[in-house]
Amino acid sequence: MLQEISKRELKKLQTRKTISEIALKLFIDKGLNETTVAEIMERAALGTGTFYNYFESKEAILKYCLSEKIDQAEQTCADIQASALNSMEKLSQILQVIGKTHHQNRQLISLYMKSYRNVDKVDKEPPHGSRFEEILSGIILEGQEKNEFRKDIPLEVINEMFSSILMSTMSSNLKLSFMDNLNYKHSLLLEGVVKKKDSSA
C-alpha cells in the first residue's frame, strides 16, 4: 500500500513538473499574459481542468519554478556553510552560488518580478524569504567568533555589504558579464580600492 501511494505521489510530482516546465517555456517565448492555461495543458497532453489540481494560477507556476531554483541554491549554500572552509571562503563561494543562480535564471526572475508587482495575483511573500540572509549571518557570526572577521563592525553591516554587491550587480548597466561584474565588486570589498605597495621594491 505504501509503495502504491509512493507511486501515485511520484506521478503527481512529475505531472506538476511537466506542467511547470512547459508553461515556463511558453511564458518566456510568448509572455505570461499571452499564454493561456488551455495552451499549456494542450502541450502537456492533459485536460484544461487538470491544471487547477496543481496550480491556482499561471503566476503560481512562476513562484513554484523560482522556489525550485532557490531551494537548490539554498541546499548548496547550506552545504558550504557546514563545510570545513574558513568563513571568508564560505562567503565567497556562497556569493558565487547566488550570483550564478540569478544569472542563469534571469528570465524567470524578470517574469516573476513583473507578476510580483500585481498584488492581486501573486502572494506578496517572495519565495526565498530570509533564508539566504540567515545563512550569511550565521557564517559572519562564525567568522567573528573565530577572529576571522572584525568584531568592531556589526554583523548586520557586513551582511548588508555582501548583499549589496549582489543587488548592485543585478541592476547594473555596465558592459561587463554578470559574473565579471560580481567578482570585481567582491574583490573590491575584500581588498579595497587602494593599490598595495610592492614589499619587494
> Would you say residue 73 has pLDDT above 50?
yes
Three cell numbers written together for 59: 503566476
pLDDT the model gives residue 200: 56
Q: What is the pLDDT of residue 5?
A: 66
Backbone angles phi, psi at 116, to 5 degrees: -60, -30
Q: Which of 52, 54, 42 is nearest to 12 (CA)?
A: 54
The SS3 of residue 162 is helix
* Spatial separation of the C-alpha atoms in residues 13 and 17, rounded to whole Å: 6
| pLDDT, tens only, 3-54 | 556 888 899 999 999 999 999 999 999 999 999 999 999 999 999 999 999 9
Please tell me the predicted confidence (pLDDT) of residue 71: 92
Please state the rounded mean pLDDT for residues 110-121.
73
Cβ–Cβ < 8 Å for 148, 87: yes
Residues 6+ away with beta carbon under 8 Å from 68: 20
Q: What DSSP character marks residue 120?
A: T
DSSP annotation of 51: G
| Domains identified in the chain and CATH numbers | 1-55 (1.10.10.60), 66-191 (1.10.357)
Say how many residues make up the chain: 201
